[in-house]
Amino acid sequence: MRSLLLTLPLLLVSAVAQAEPLEWKFDAAHSQLGFKVSHLVVSSVSGRFKEVQSSNIVIDDQDPSKSHVELEIKADSVNTDEPKRDEHLRGADFFDTAKFPTLKFVSSKVVKAGKAYKITGALTIRDVTKQVTLDATLSAPIKNPWGKQVRAATLTGKIKRADFGLTWNKTLEAGGVVVGDTVALDLQVEVTR
């Protein structure tokens, strides 16, 4: 009986510790920060950013409002699998990566929405900051074969590129434009601890 009484406080401390917000590391090898935009009105182009400069990811399963996401992305890591287009995207017509080397997202609010989440925060592109809301799902943690805890998140949303000063375009003879204004975001993120 005495050993049970001594063990009970340890179990309570352990349960409280597990309820604390936990910091997770961004796993670049198993993540993709993707986007898609209309091209010539008839198709779309997909791309991704391949390098995250820094991240701060805190997840609190018990109280999502204590969760926090911060990503700083290297703008010149943009990749659409077409070198000439990627150079154009890095230039002054689009991201102007020499002048604005990073894109940044800092969450300000995380709320549970059924089994999913809504993450609102400040997105900065070309030193223009706008509030955006992303829809997110989050897996339960699992242990990988190397003993680390792993989780996966999917974040989706839409932004208007003109809101961030990305206004380059050309009008088509038949109507419409070369590049659409709406950009669909699709981030597949794996984190570890």
DSSP per residue over 145-160, as a string?
Answer: TTS-EEEEEEEEEEEE
Q: Cα 85–90–88 angle (5° rounding)?
A: 30
Strand duo 102-113 + 116-125: pairing = antiparallel
Residue type, 184: A
pLDDT along the chain (193 residues), means of 10: 49 52 95 95 94 95 96 98 97 97 98 95 98 97 95 98 95 88 97 96
Provide the 3-class DSSP secondary structure of residue 85.
helix
* pLDDT (0 to 100) of residue 16: 46
* pLDDT (0 to 100) of residue 174: 80
* pLDDT (0 to 100) of residue 19: 62
Architecture of the domain delimited by 21-192? Beta Barrel (2.40)
Strands (E), the chain: 22-26, 32-39, 43-49, 52-59, 68-74, 78-79, 102-113, 116-125, 128-138, 142-143, 149-160, 179-192
Domain boundaries, the chain: 21-192
* pLDDT (0 to 100) of residue 42: 87
* pLDDT (0 to 100) of residue 8: 47
Residue type, 53: Q
**CB-based contacts of 17: which residues, under 8 Å, 6+ apart?**
none
